[in-house]
Structure 1
Amino acid sequence: MNSTLKTSSSPSSVFSVQLLTIFVCFLMNMLDGMDVMVVSYAAPNISKDWSVSPQSLGVVFSAGLLGMAIGAIFLASRADKIGRKGIILISNVLMSVSVFATAWANSVEMLTIMRVVSGIGIGGMLASTATLTSENAPQKTKDFWVSFVMAGYPIGAVLSGLVAASVIPQYGWPAIFKIAGFASFVTLPIGYFFLKESKEFLNKSASRERPALTALLAEKYKKATIGLWVAIFMAFATLYFLTTWIPKLASVTGLSVELAIYAGTVFNLGAFFGIISQGYLSSIFGLQKTIFGYLIFTAFLMLIFGQFAGSVMVLVLFGLIGFGIQGGFVGMYSLAARLYPTEIRATGVGGAVGIGRIGAIVGPLLGGVLIGAGLSMTTNFIVFAVPTVISGIAMLYISTKDSR
């Protein structure tokens, strides 16, 4: 694709092109958040229309996460050969077609297939936008801009929730999938005309060869890669335990039905501010120390969560926990982009995100087992504070000097 930057351009015009690319990546991640959450908002109505239990739809949610892992590990790695822009556009097509087609799903099996396909697109999109942003952002503010782009994800989740709340009761659950799919289609020409590959990628002739995932475990990168994978697996396990069980958590903590409805929105709004502030603080205190602080803060809140059961303060805690866990784990995207050189950067980011998505499958399943065994929600929070601490500690043992 013809996405070269003219070497004769002035620094200000080059930065304008880079900034435009960053904002388009932000838009693409808003679509990610929308496409991930839309099935959650539609699930109660799907369950009612098809006469299947909400538990039976659990396989649908797992299928989406599996697709994201596949997309991050295998699709995103292609970006090191054909370019980040190409994979972003391919991911967009996969998301658009599958989400739009979901409106005509008439069985759990078809719905599952559509979620796998959309998950592959979402996984490829997240890793590729993080990589492209890292390569276009100014060196001094790189961490902020990567975090800014990732903040599009919770914004998309919140906006899709607001749209779903007004659309589904009036037009039925298929309407929200049509809207989400159409919105993704609309952004295709925007991505095609305004996304630009970085000079860093275009000037690397080695990038024309697709690197193997095993390159991340070469002696030079092995220690940092394993540390990153441990940290992101643990963080995703906690994050998806929280997001999966938030409706249940809210209902058993004594909140009124009206207030419980806002739990997910408060969590995602907290996430947005956590992600943005993490990017800013990382430029002051350092990326790894900032991530560590956010995750330890989250673990502390989870440990004291039970003290606020039955109080409106539970909503505040949901917001603060979203602030901490999302702010912390999104910083790992920035770290992954820093750990690896251009020729294997997309593979490195995608590999980390893919490992994280496996944790996203394990976390909710483990939470379900513990709840089924009779453990209270408060006890579950204490249990999941442990992987959060492990994730934070792992951050401090990753050396970027050994990798680049």
Structure 2
Amino acid sequence: MAGPIVGTNPIKVIDENRMSWRQWLVVAIMVLLNALDGFDVLSSAFAAPGISEEWGIPRSELGIVLSAELVGMGFGSVILGGMADKLGRKPAMLFCLVVMAGGMYMAHAANDVWTLTVWRFITGLGIGGMLAATNAVTAESSSKADRGLAMSLYVIGYPVGGVIGGFAAQSWLLVDYDWRAVFLFGAIVTAVMIPLVMLLVPETPAFYAARRPNGAVEKINRSLRALRQPPIDKLPEISPTARKPKVTDILSNPRLRPVTLLLAFGYLFHTITFYYILKFAVQIVSDSGFSQPEAASTLTWANIGGAIGGALFGFLLKKWDIKGPTIAVAVLGSLAVAAFGIGSDTLWGWRAATFLTMFFLNAAIVGYYAAFARGFPAYARATGTGFVLGVGRAGAAGSPIIAGFLFVWLGNEELFAVSAIMAVGAIVGAGLLFMLPMRDPDYEEAEQNPLPAGAADRIAA
């Protein structure tokens, strides 16, 4: 049996060697952080019936509250995603956890709609930055052979967080307490994750290789040792005449620009459909005559469907490429959303409908995230992912607002018409994904050897 891969390229060391238990532990923590993001985002949906009842607000105004953290996520993905490429993945994650914990705690103490909206926006800033950083850490801590599986596990953490939060909300928080307990619970769990990240997650070797700080080799080897991988002896020499790559290459580089824009706007339209179910299903079912805990259970089943669909889709990606399967499940998801609009007379009918929508729609999210990890080189991965997520969050934020005003314009009884219109987003996203160019061989080689020329000059950039 061949020995471990060593050399001067830490990216290749991670890519080509078998994953250690420490690498899988890092992936597991990223799954937990994504689950935390999933719960934090959906906490307002779980709380929506209680908020609406206590403050007597209409669906159009509720839609603004529900979109607040999604707007914040858009800004956070771009602003704090860039922080992860400049200061490091680990500092960015810790900062985002502090922001999220504080925002959730203050949301539970809000006494009016606009105060709650502000704190949900601030919470969203942290969630957006967290998504960009954790996506990069998952990709950069996993081997090439297991990266597809690692990314699928990471993505399904999001609905798993919704499932756990849903069970907690429907069986405990909303039964023994009120909607404020949902946000307080999220704040406590978020705070618990801070010491876990501090102690168990090393900075990625890819970050140090791309930034080349003082003592880069020593820092890279410290990370490699933490991940139970062999060290390198030196980094390659840098040609002084070579072009200096920048994180702004995601839009200025003619090879990266179409990838960035097609992924960003494809994801944007997909999230319009995706978040319609996640943000309005509980309110719709509650208005159909079911109790708040019963209505919350439909979102739990939606996330169970998302977790199962995402996991199965992750195994498909080990055999097929990203684009075709992602387009297929996105189209099936849009059909399931339209079918959701038919409605149901039973609670299990609603649960089955939301299960199917998220089964397909979240499988497509796995495909998008796999494309994010593959589409950007290490030196701009968090920035590229953050930009795409930031643009996508415009669709996520707009989704409950659009749906809320459609219900006002068409009437609350026109559920099928509203659902059919909201289903169009996933179709448009699939069309844009169809135009996504596949990477050529020399771009693939650049990913395997991403030690950029002039990297030391970018430290002050």
TM-score for the superposition, normalised by structure 2? 0.78
> 2:428 corresponds to which residue?
390
Structure 2 residue corresponding to 1:116, chosen from 121, 127, 146: 121
Give the aligned partner of residue 306 of structure 2.
Answer: 271
Q: Where does residue 147 of structure 1 map in the other structure?
A: 152
Q: Which moved more, 1:117-126 or 1:305-314?
A: 305-314
Higher radius of gyration, 1 or 2: 2
Query: Residue 93 of structure 2 is aligned with which of 88, 92, 96?
Result: 88
| Contact 1:81/1:207 (<8 A) preserved | no
- TM, length-normalised to structure 1: 0.88
Q: Hey, what's the Cα distance between the residues in 1 that align with 2:294 and 2:433?
A: 36
Which residue in the other structure is 2:186 paired with?
Answer: 180
Partner of 1:238: 273
Find the counterpart in structure 2 of residue 348 from structure 1.
Answer: 384
Counterpart Cα distance in 1 of 2:383 and 2:321: 24
The residue aligned with 1:27 is 32
1:61-76 maps to which residues of 2 (within 5 A)?
A: 61-76=66-81
Could you tell me which amino acid in structure 2 is paired with residue 118 of structure 1?
T
Are the equivalent residues in 1 in contact too, given 2:100–2:126 (CA < 8 A)?
A: yes
In structure 2, how many angstroms separate the alpha carbons of the residues matched to 1:239 and 1:207? 40
Alignment partners' CA distance in 2, 1:171 and 1:308: 29
Kept in 1: contact 2:314–2:366 (CA 8 A): no
Cα deviation, 1:6-30, whole Å, max 9, x if unaligned, reads: x999x98962221111111111112
Assess, with a 3 A threshold, how the Cα gap between structure 1 residues 237 and 54 changes in structure 2: closer, same or farther.
Answer: closer
1:204 aligned partner, one-letter code: A
Match for residue 161 of structure 1 among 146, 163, 166: 166
Q: Residue 68 of structure 1 contacts residue 123 of structure 1 at CA under 8 Å; is this kept in 2?
A: yes
**Correspondence for 1:294:** 329
Does structure 2 retain, via aligned residues, the 8 Å contact 1:60–1:111? yes
Gaps of 5+ in 2: 1-9, 215-243, 445-461
- Residues 180 and 366 of structure 1: CA distance in aligned 2, closer, same or farther (over 3 Å): closer
User: What does the per-residue CA deviation read over 1:135-187, in whole Å, with 9 as the maximum and x for residues that have no partner?
Assistant: 11121221221121121111112222222231244233333332221111111
CA spacing shift, 1:207–1:246, aligned 2, 3 Å: farther
| SS of residue paired to 2:410 | coil
Secondary structure of 2:202's match?
Answer: coil
Instruction: Point out the structure with the larger helix share.
Output: 1
In the aligned structure 2, how far is the partner of 1:317 from the partner of 1:302?
8
CA spacing shift, 1:344–1:182, aligned 2, 3 Å: same
Instruction: Give secondary structure in 1 for the equivalent of 2:319.
Output: helix
Aligned residues between the structures: 397
Contact persistence 1:134–1:142 (CA under 8 A): yes
Equivalent residues of 2:64, 2:400 under 8 A apart: no
Q: Which moved more, 1:315-324 or 1:213-222?
A: 213-222
Q: Does 1:331 align with 2:364?
A: no
- When residues 353 and 247 of structure 1 are mapped into structure 2, their CA distance, relative to the original with a 3 A threshold, is same
**Separation (CA, whole Å) in 1 of partners of 2:331 and 2:149:** 21
8 A contact 1:270–1:322 mirrored in 2: yes
The 8 Å contact of residues 85 and 383 in structure 2, kept in 1 or not, is answered as yes
Deviations 1:365-394 (A, max 9, x none): 222333333272222333233321221232
RMSD after superposition: 3.0
Letter in 1 for 2:190: S
Percentage identity across paired residues of the two chains:
27
CA distance in 2: counterparts of 1:55 and 1:387, whole angstroms: 20
The one-letter code matched in structure 1 to 2:105 is: F
Corresponding residue for 1:370? 406
Q: Bigger shift: 54-63 or 276-285?
A: 54-63
